[in-house]
Amino acid sequence: MEAIYIILAGSLVAVSCGLVGSYLILRKMAMVADAISHAVLPGIVIAFFISGSRDSLPMLLGAGALGIITTFLIEFFHKKGNLQTDASIGVTFTWLFALGVILISTFAGKVDLDQDCVLYGEIAYVPIDLWITDTGTIMGPRVLYISGSVLLVVIAFIFIGYKELFLTTFDPSYAAIIGINTTLWHYLLMGAVSLTTVASFESVGAILVVALLIAPPATAYLLTEDFKKMLIFTCIIGIIVSVLGYYLASYIDGSIAGAMSTVAGLIFLVVFLFSPTQGVVFRNRRSKLSMTLNEEPI
Amino acid sequence: MNIHAEDPIIEVHDLTVSYSQKPVLWGIDLSLPKGSLVGIVGPNGAGKSTLIKAIMDLVPLSSGYVKLFDTQLDNVREKISYVPQRESVDWDFPASVYDVVMMGRYGKLGLFKRPRQADREVVQESMRLVGMEAFKNRQISQLSGGQQQRVFLARALAQQAEVYFMDEPFAGVDAATEKAIVELLRRMSKEGKTVVVVHHDLQSVAKYFDWLILLNMRLVASGPTVDVFKEELLQEAYGGKLTILSEVGDLLTKGRFPSREKTV
Amino acid sequence: MEDFLYFFSFQDPNIRYVVVGSVLLAISAAIVGCFTFLKKRALIGDAVAHSVLPGVCLAFVVSGTKNPIYLIIGAFITGWLSLRFIDMIVRYSKLKEDTAIGLTLSVFFGLGILILTAIQHSGNANQSGLDQFLFGKAASLVGQDLIVFGSVSIILLLVVGLLFKELTLLAFDEQFGKAIGMPVKGLELVLTTLTVLAVVTGIQAVGVVLMAAMLITPAAAARFWTDKLTTMVFLAALFGAISGVSGAYISFVAPAMPTGPWIVLVISFIAMSSFFIAPRKGILYKQFQQRKYQKQILEENILKAFFHLGEADEQYYGHRKISDLISQRRFVMGRLKGGLQKLVRSGFLKQDREGWVLTEEGKNKGQRIVKLHRLWELYLTEYLRIAPDHVHDEAETIEHIITPEIEARLEKKLNYPSVDPHNETIPYR
């Protein structure tokens, strides 16, 4: 039962991350995701400190606010300060993350958060962290409810805004011409990223969230050229990552989140090398083939 | 030479556009007649793309205003279509030809709504017009340059607009595609659609367009091709920059100068 | 306070070592960071920093010790591998660089965490302290560690010094470098190696998670103060050094605190201040400058109004009241009064009971603005073919910025015209 709870939590997290991540890599915003996932830390700590509990609502608010502030700051330094985008991202998130770690150290003992949790989460504790109602009924692991609801929100968001997200990702200036508010959809997507990041934070930590945001969609992108299929493949890969990650971690007795990212990386590597259409190995063979064809006299 | 159209469909008044304070277009003033096939011509960096982007409100204006159908853009968005430069999007994007052409219908559909039979028929017809119906399910990453351009054109057609702006639709396409596109544009113009094309090949200008805009950071000429396509006007447009103008432009950037005194 | 004095008297040799070490590490990262920053590959440093973690852990597993030489070799190998990986992904797939960086960074780090936690759970007594590589601890920079990490950064500084010219060219204009026959590929390799080395030496003090800040932030801060590369490198090193010292100090007074985040906060503070206050490029400075121009424009417009009034009744030195000026132009009352006072102070106007009067200087200045306005209107109609009824607004701006040199050329180009497009006289002196 314990294993199933953990794998289920991991899958829920991996699937929500992968879905929003698909849009991020196509928008060439993977590093913004990296920045947001780091930068929500101070928001979480402050929310923790003020509310004094692990209630999800304050945490979501705190982190959501920080997520939006981060995207805003990156754009502010870029536009007003003329700072190049990559540096603007690098300066913004390191600063906020550092602030978060210091807050944790300062409030050590007062809040139930530590540096390890920040780095690689506590997915192993999912089965013992139960949601018990006021009447004493045990409802099962709390994290499952949180990540389940977030997944539902993400799916609803993609379902409702499918056309708008698709078009603003592919061709924002055309989207603007036909009257779609590209800024609005940009911030909505960033909001979804913040939400997913926070919900996944407890389970897999700030940095490994990035692996789940980027690796499964990047892998799926190499497997298909159809966007809907890419989303489906991303979900499947997310679940495989969760299952294999759990067993790898228990085999060598290490962090489950660390193992999940390792597995995600390995799957990517295999696809990168051997994908039937995009793989390096096949591509080399194909280009050799076309070269010999070209050399033939016409 | 600036000939104004009677009963114009597009009017540009005193339009100045700047990038980081430096004007790239100075005081453009022109009007275009309905149903014309308009070419925007000028040397590199003349602000050709900027002009159509400014008309479509994709770049902020420093001064001046634009009227389409005698009103503001927001009131007539569904009548306006745009074919961006081919390189402006990532063609590795996971989408099929059909997906991209269907985007032309998104403006008519609202949130939640899915394409209906009527939309699918329009998309089908648009693909047929550009000769791409056989490639309906092809992924866009597998298209040639000319085919990519046809897909963009089909997307614009699917919008069933009245005015079409096209940014270098002939750049990097094969001769067959160029011919097909020109024929299509002529047909659209005959049906009363207005088509504005950014173009950089002087050789074909007189053949393709019936109205010309000569641009080089300022308006050199605008009017029917027969009147505008003249040696001396072309020389003025292509005969190098106005040095005083560009130096004043540089001063504006350097000083981070506000473009106007605050009056209120 | 006592701690502060004790620390900065540097009596304690241990403190001296820690300070020297932290400063060296911070400086090397800052200097190498300048070049990656200018090549617009700042986030590459982030990827390398995260990717050295599995190397450090594997080196420990293989060697069984925390000997800094092994750890550095391990870190170097995986840091280097991560860069090769990013290049491979970008070259051989349709994925873009940002995805490649994010993917490599998080997967390598995940692998590092997996190995680290496995080591921690294995009960190996020797492993304690390995997790200091996550967030850094400057205070542990003593003895053998200091010698090893210190020598690496000294080598690094030497290489940068020797290849400064070449690296500059690489950062600014790779194409040109290629054209004049520089071994650009080899230099890229050197820069990559330097980046990895800077990260490897820095992690002891800052930790892998925040090492990216030591590469990016000092360079970004320095860029706001100067356009010259040598000055930029020097400033970045200085900013890095300041943050290094503060890191060492914090490690000394609050041993429970991880030092990395504090170092990063200090350097970020320097950077944020630079973004706002740096001359010429700072955000506040630019706003201040804007306001100054607004004032200058206002004053020039006031003098222009005086001149226009003078033109109307051919009495340039007549007394004018506020109502006269307002009839000329829609001035905002408060600003107009401020502007008038300023003009009196700078000697362009005189004030007495009957109102304000132009001085000779004031008249000349007002006249020049009017002249420039009309010249520019003429230029716009003649050379830009703008209709005469559309040129006024444009000229309202340009009249304030034309330099005497452009003024002279404008006069010559237009052949000293006597009237503008509205048939108004162009007033020459």
| Alpha carbons within 13 A on the beta-carbon side of B155 | 30
Q: Are strands B194-198 and B37-41 parallel, antiparallel or unpaired?
A: parallel
Confidence of residue C30 (pLDDT cuts 50, 70, 90): very high
pLDDT over 50 at A292, yes or no: no
Burial class (CB in 10 A: 0-12, 13-18, 19+), C235: buried
The pLDDT tens digits of the residues spanning C212-245 come to 899 999 999 999 898 888 899 999 999 999 998 8
The pLDDT tens digits of the residues spanning B137-150 come to 999 988 988 999 99
pLDDT of res. A19: 96
| Averaged pLDDT, C395-422 | 85
Subunit contact C332:B2, Cβ cutoff 8 A: no
Other CB atoms within 10 Å distance of the CB of residue A289: 10
Question: Count of domains in chain B?
Answer: 1
Q: Which phi and psi angles does B220 have, rounded to 5°? A: -90, -40
Show residues of chain B in contact with A26, CB under 8 Å: 90, 93-94
In B76-115, the residues whose Cβ lies within 8 Å of chain A are 77-78, 80-82, 84, 88-90, 93-96, 99-100, 103, 106-107, 109, 111-112
Closest to C117 (Cβ–Cβ): which among A90, A94, A254?
A254
Disruptive mutation site among C288, C389, C398 for chain B (greatest number of B CBs within 10 Å): C398
Show residues of chain A in contact with C122, CB under 8 Å: 253
pLDDT of res. A296: 37
| Chains adjacent to A (≥3 CB pairs closer than 8 angstroms) | B, C
The pLDDT tens digits of the residues spanning C177-189 come to 777 877 888 888 8
The mean pLDDT value of chain C amounts to 86
Subunit contact B103:A225, Cβ cutoff 8 A: no
pLDDT over 70 at A286, yes or no: no
- Residue B261 domain-assigned (yes or no): no
pLDDT of res. C125: 66
Instruction: Say which residue, B242 or A3, is predicted with more confidence.
Output: A3
The pLDDT tens digits of the residues spanning C273-311 come to 999 888 878 888 888 888 888 888 888 888 888 888 888
H-assigned helices in chain A: 2-26, 30-51, 56-79, 85-106, 115-120, 142-160, 162-170, 172-177, 182-223, 227-252, 256-274, 280-295
Q: Which phi and psi angles does B81 have, rounded to 5°? A: -130, 160
pLDDT of res. A279: 72
pLDDT of res. C394: 80
pLDDT of res. A295: 39
pLDDT of res. C423: 82
CATH topology of domain A2-216: ABC transporter involved in vitamin B12 uptake, BtuC (1.10.3470)
Distance from the B25 Cα atom to the nearest Cα atom in chain C, whole angstroms: 11
pLDDT over 60 at B103, yes or no: yes
Show residues of chain A in contact with C134, CB under 8 Å: 115, 119
Domain C282-429 has CATH 1.10.10.10: yes
pLDDT over 50 at A277, yes or no: yes
User: Is A156 in the C-facing interface, judged by CB distances under 8 Å?
Assistant: no
- Residue B73 domain-assigned (yes or no): yes
| Averaged pLDDT, C385-389 | 82
pLDDT of res. A294: 43
3-state secondary structure of B192: coil
Query: Where do the structural domains in chain C lie, given as residue ranges?
Result: 2-278, 282-429
pLDDT of res. A297: 38
pLDDT over 60 at A289, yes or no: no
Number of H helices, E strands in chain B: 9, 9
pLDDT of res. A166: 93
Work out the percent of chain B whose per-residue pLDDT is above 70: 95
pLDDT over 70 at A285, yes or no: no
Q: Which two tokens stand for residue A291?
A: 């070269």
CA dihedral over C69, C71, C77, C81, signed as positive or negative: negative
Subunit contact C289:B218, Cβ cutoff 8 A: no
User: Is A222 in the C-facing interface, judged by CB distances under 8 Å?
Assistant: yes
The pLDDT tens digits of the residues spanning A40-51 come to 888 888 887 787
Q: How far are the Cα atoms of A64, B129, C69 from residue A9, in angstroms, in the given order?
A: 21, 51, 41
Length of chain B: 264
C145: closest CA among C289, C332, C324, C14? C14
User: Is A177 in the B-facing interface, judged by CB distances under 8 Å?
Assistant: yes
Subunit contact C403:B251, Cβ cutoff 8 A: yes
Q: C2-278 sits in which CATH class?
A: mainly alpha
In A177-216, the residues whose Cβ lies within 8 Å of chain C are 207-208, 210-211, 213-215
Instruction: Say which residue, C384 or C198, is predicted with more confidence.
Output: C198
The pLDDT tens digits of the residues spanning B203-262 come to 888 889 999 999 988 888 899 998 889 888 888 888 766 778 888 887 777 665 554 444
pLDDT over 90 at B49, yes or no: yes
User: Is C2 in the B-facing interface, judged by CB distances under 8 Å?
Assistant: no
Q: Choose the weakest-confidence range: A282-286, C342-346, C402-406.
A: A282-286
Work out the percent of chain A whose per-residue pLDDT is above 70: 89
Distance from the B205 Cα atom to the nearest Cα atom in chain C, whole angstroms: 22
Subunit contact B107:A173, Cβ cutoff 8 A: no
Of all residues in chain C, the one with the smallest CA distance to A280 is C92
Show residues of chain A in contact with B53, CB under 8 Å: 173
pLDDT over 80 at A287, yes or no: no
Of all residues in chain C, the one with the smallest CA distance to B93 is C94
Show residues of chain A in contact with C256, CB under 8 Å: 105, 108
- Domain span at residue B67 reads 8-254
The pLDDT tens digits of the residues spanning C104-143 come to 999 999 999 999 988 888 877 677 777 778 887 777 777 7
| Averaged pLDDT, C364-376 | 89
| Averaged pLDDT, C28-42 | 90
The pLDDT tens digits of the residues spanning B23-44 come to 889 889 899 999 899 999 998 8
Confidence of residue A7 (pLDDT cuts 50, 70, 90): very high
Q: Which two tokens stand for residue B232?
A: 């001396």
pLDDT over 90 at A156, yes or no: yes
The mean pLDDT value of chain B amounts to 87
pLDDT over 80 at A132, yes or no: no
Distance from the C241 Cα atom to the nearest Cα atom in chain A, whole angstroms: 17
CB B258 within 8 Å of CB C294: yes
| Averaged pLDDT, A160-183 | 91
Instruction: Look up tokens 């290629």; give the residue.
Output: C178
CATH of the domain at B156: 3.40.50.300
pLDDT of res. A18: 95
- Could you write out the three-class secondary structure of chain C? CHHHHHHHCCCCHHHHHHHHHHHHHHHHHHHHHHHHHHCCCHHHHHHHHHHHHHHHHHHHHHHCCCCHHHHHHHHHHHHHHHHHHHHHHHHHCCCCHHHHHHHHHHHHHHHHHHHHHHHHHCCCHHHCCCCHHHHCCHHHCCHHHHHHHHHHHHHHHHHHHHCHHHHHHHHHCHHHHHHCCCCHHHHHHHHHHHHHHHHHHHHHHHCCCCHHHHHHHHHHHHHCCCCCHHHHHHHHHHHHHHHHHHHHHHHHHCCCCCHHHHHHHHHHHHHHHHHHHCCCCCHHHHHHHHHHHHHHHHHHHHHHHHHHHHHHHCCCCCCECHHHHHHHCCCCHHHHHHHHHHHHHCCCEEEECCEEEECHHHHHHHHHHHHHHHHHHHHHHHHCCCCHHHCHHHHHHHCCCCCHHHHHHHHHHCCCCCECCCCCECCCC
Subunit contact A81:C224, Cβ cutoff 8 A: yes
pLDDT over 90 at C349, yes or no: no
pLDDT of res. A54: 64
pTM of the model as a whole: 0.87
What is the rounded distance in angstroms from the CA atom of residue C211 to the CA atom of residue C203? 6
Query: Where do the structural domains in chain A lie, given as residue ranges?
Result: 2-216
| Alpha carbons within 13 A on the beta-carbon side of C44 | 27
ipTM score of complex: 0.90
Confidence of residue A234 (pLDDT cuts 50, 70, 90): very high
3-state secondary structure of B13: strand
Work out the percent of chain C whose per-residue pLDDT is above 90: 23
- Residue B178 domain-assigned (yes or no): yes
| Averaged pLDDT, C193-214 | 86
Of all residues in chain C, the one with the smallest CA distance to B261 is C294
Subunit contact A178:B77, Cβ cutoff 8 A: yes
The pLDDT tens digits of the residues spanning A256-272 come to 999 999 999 999 999 99
pLDDT of res. C110: 93
pLDDT of res. A212: 94
Instruction: Look up tokens 């943050």; give the residue.
Output: C243
